Amino acid sequence: QSVLTQAPSASGTPGQRVTISCSGSSSNIGRNAVNWYQQLPGTAPKLLIYGLNQRPSGVPDRFSGSKSGTSASLAISGLQSEDEADYYCVAWDDSLNGVVFGGGTKLTVL
Amino acid sequence: QVRLQESGPGLVKPSETLSLTCTVSGDSISSGPYYWGWIRQSPGKGLEWIGSIYYTGRTYYSPSLKSRVTISADTSKNQFSVKLTSVTAADTAIYYCARFDIVVVPGFDYWGQGTLVTVSS
C-alpha cells in the first residue's frame, strides 16, 4: 500500500491530452514539492517534473505538473507513442521523515 | 555528467545480508547540497525508497526497513553502500542508487541503471 495514491492505469490516443493524478496528505503533498518520474520498460526512472512545474533539460513542454492542496497532477498533451511508460509521483513526508512514492500509473497509448 | 553505478552480488541466500555499492563519477559525494540514496523495485511492482545518506554520515531510513538497513559512505572512494540483513524472497528486486538534490529539485535527479538482486537458496 503506497502512501501516495495513483490510479494503476491510464490510456489515450495519439494527440490526446491525458492527466495522471496523485493523492496524498498534509504531511507530504500538502507541505512539500511533488516530483514526477517516467519509467520506460527495462530502464531506470527519469525525472520528468520537479518543484512548481519545472522540467529538466530535454523534457518536452508537452509534460506539465500542478498541485492543489494534497493532490498533484501530471498532464501530457499531444500524446505520442513513446510516452507509453509507467509514471510515478514522489514527495517527502514530514511525518514519516522519508521519501514516499505513488504506486505508479501505467500509461497506454492506444 | 553525473553517473552512478551499482555493484554487488546478484544472488543472496535467505537469512543472509545483501550488500551493494554505488560508485559515483562526475560529482563528489562530499559536495552539497546532495543526499545519496537507495531505491528498490520488486519485479512488476512500484518503487520503494530504502534510505539516504549525507556525506557527513547523516542518514534517513524507510520506517518499514529501518531495523534491517544500514547505509554508509566512503568519501575517499566516492562510493556509498547499503546493507540489508536477514533477507527473504520479498527482498528480491532491482536496486537503484540515486542522487537526491536537496535544494533545486528537491528529489532524485540522477539514477544508476539498477542491479537485480535475487534472494534464493
The cell for B108 is 532524485
What is the block-wise mean pLDDT of chain A (110 residues), using blocks of 10 residues?
94 97 96 96 95 91 96 97 97 94 96
Q: Please give the C-alpha separations between residue B114 and each of B50, B95, B96, B103, in angstroms, as whole numbers.
A: 14, 5, 4, 25
**B8 vs B79: CA distance, rounded Å:** 13
Within an 8 Å CB–CB cutoff, is residue A92 touching chain B?
yes
The cell for B21 is 555499492
CB contact under 8 A, B112 and A44: yes
pLDDT in single tens digits along all 121 residues of chain B: 999 999 999 999 999 999 999 999 999 999 879 999 999 999 989 999 999 999 889 999 999 999 999 999 999 999 999 999 999 999 999 999 999 998 888 899 999 999 999 999 9
Give alpha helix (H) positions in chain A.
Answer: none
Residue of A nearest to B50 (CA): A99
